Structures are given as structure tokens and as C-alpha cells.
Amino acid sequence: MDLPLESLTEPARYPAVQYLKDASGNTGRLMSVQNALGDRGHQHGLRC
């Protein structure tokens, strides 16, 4: 089941969330998530 991009970016606002796991094998989706997180992901050290 693929979650909508908004469902993945919302938890990134919280410092307790440090990682996102994607098991789809779709590297394009991973890049979309990283782009959507932008600075929010880097501010909290979020890793994909």
C-alpha cells in the first residue's frame, strides 16, 4: 500500500520521527519524498 505523499511529509515535522522506510523499490518515489521534505527533513536529520 502506497501512502499519499502528504501522509509521509506531515510526520516529518516532529523531531521524534527520524527515519522513513520505503520498501517499494521505486527510486523515483523516494526522490519525490526527499524533494517534498526539503529543509524540514534536513532540519531534523530525517533520513529516507
1-47 tens-digit pLDDT? 778 888 887 887 787 887 777 788 888 887 888 888 877 655 555 55
Query: What's phi and psi for 42, nearest 5 deg?
Result: -75, -35
pLDDT of 23 reads 82
pTM, two decimals, is 0.57
On whether the CB atoms of residues 9 and 36 are closer than 8 A, the answer is yes
pLDDT at 48 exceeding the cut of 70:
no
Q: What would the DSSP string read from start to end of the chain?
A: -PPPHHHHHSGGGSTT--B----S--HHHHHHHHHHHHHHHHHTT-B-
pLDDT value of residue 40 = 65
